[in-house]
Amino acid sequence: MLGAVIGDIVGSVYEFDNIKTKDFPFFQDRCRFTDDTICTLALAECLLDGGDPAIYLRRWCREYESSYGFGFRRWVHDDNAGPYNSWGNGAAMRVSPAAYLAKNHQDALRLAEHITQVTHDHPRGLLGAAAVTTAIWLALSGATAAEIRKQIERQYRYDLGRRVDEIRPSYEFNESCDGTVPEAITCALEAQDFEDAIRNAISIGGDSDTVAAITGSIAEALFGIPSDLRTAAMPFLRDRFIEVLNRSYKSVGSFQSKRDSKSTR
């Protein structure tokens, strides 16, 4: 969850100004949270409360302004609107609470569908959310990067065969799950640690804050988040955001992921 938030914040300055290198300042004064953070924390609070995802998304997104997509913004401001067949990467960038707050893998997939289908009910949107949820769950359960890659390719038919250096030269802005999720997962699985994963994600370009949010949600489960990066992220967040994060991690036993006390690989 916090991994997605950090990816969003760091990537926010590069969404429309891509940088095709891993050599960039990590946190900058221009950094900010965007819709990725707002939606992720809205759904974390929703799952903690056992509430209706549509109500929580609308409540949070009406309170906190951001660059919401046209279809989603229209949905947010229409209480009677139902899902709108979206296959966009918003399904995958906000889904991490389903994995972190679940009891088991099947429960994680059930929660992912529950919080995704209120807007992104297209099969490709649901698939992207499920794939990210599975990658996070496997990482939290101790699977290696190779094991995660193998299962995602087999279960979701995503091609994870390209390396980050092969993706970077030709990758362009893409808001679909199909054109975002495989690349984001690869950025996490190829990394040496959490920061390296975020740098991978931003360095390929495209929809940088969302790619990095998806990557960060998986990298947190793989490596944990260094305490200095957790501390550095806090000034960019509202008090309410921090309260929801604290409550979420308290519910799973720690403000750190299950990987934080383990060595990285």
Residue 152 and residue 205 in contact, taking contact as beta carbons nearer than 8 Å: no
Residue 261 lies in a domain: no
pLDDT at site 252: 84
Q: Which residues contact 191 (CB under 8 A, 6 or more apart)?
A: 197, 200, 219, 222, 223
Q: What is the pLDDT of residue 198?
A: 98
pLDDT of residue 257: 43
DSSP H or E run through 147: helix 145-156
Q: Beta partners for 176?
A: 88
Q: What is the CATH number of the domain that holds 158?
A: 1.10.4080.10
Q: What is the pLDDT of residue 262?
A: 38
Contact yes or no for 210/36 (Cβ under 8 A): yes
> Residue 9's domain spans which residues?
2-23+32-251
Tokens 């906190």, residue? 64
Axis crossing angle, helix 123-140 with helix 105-116, rounded to the nearest 10? 150
pLDDT digits (tens, 9 = 90+) for 54-104: 999 999 999 998 989 999 999 999 999 999 999 999 999 999 999 999 999
Q: For a pLDDT cut of 90, what percent of the chain falls above it?
A: 92
Backbone angles phi, psi at 176, to 5 degrees: -90, 155
Low-confidence residues of the chain: pLDDT under 50: 255-265
Question: Two tokens at 138?
Answer: 């496997």
Is 165 inside any structural domain?
Answer: yes
Q: Is residue 246 part of a domain?
A: yes
**Entry pTM:** 0.95
Answer yes or no: is 256 within a domain. Answer: no
- For the chain, the domain total comes to 1
pLDDT above 70 as % of the chain: 95
**Helix, strand, coil share of the chain (percent; to 5):** 60, 0, 40
Residue with tokens 């949070």, as numbered in its chain: 60
- Residue 150 maps to a domain: yes
pLDDT of residue 265: 29
Q: Domain for residue 263, yes or no?
A: no
The one-character DSSP state at 78 is -
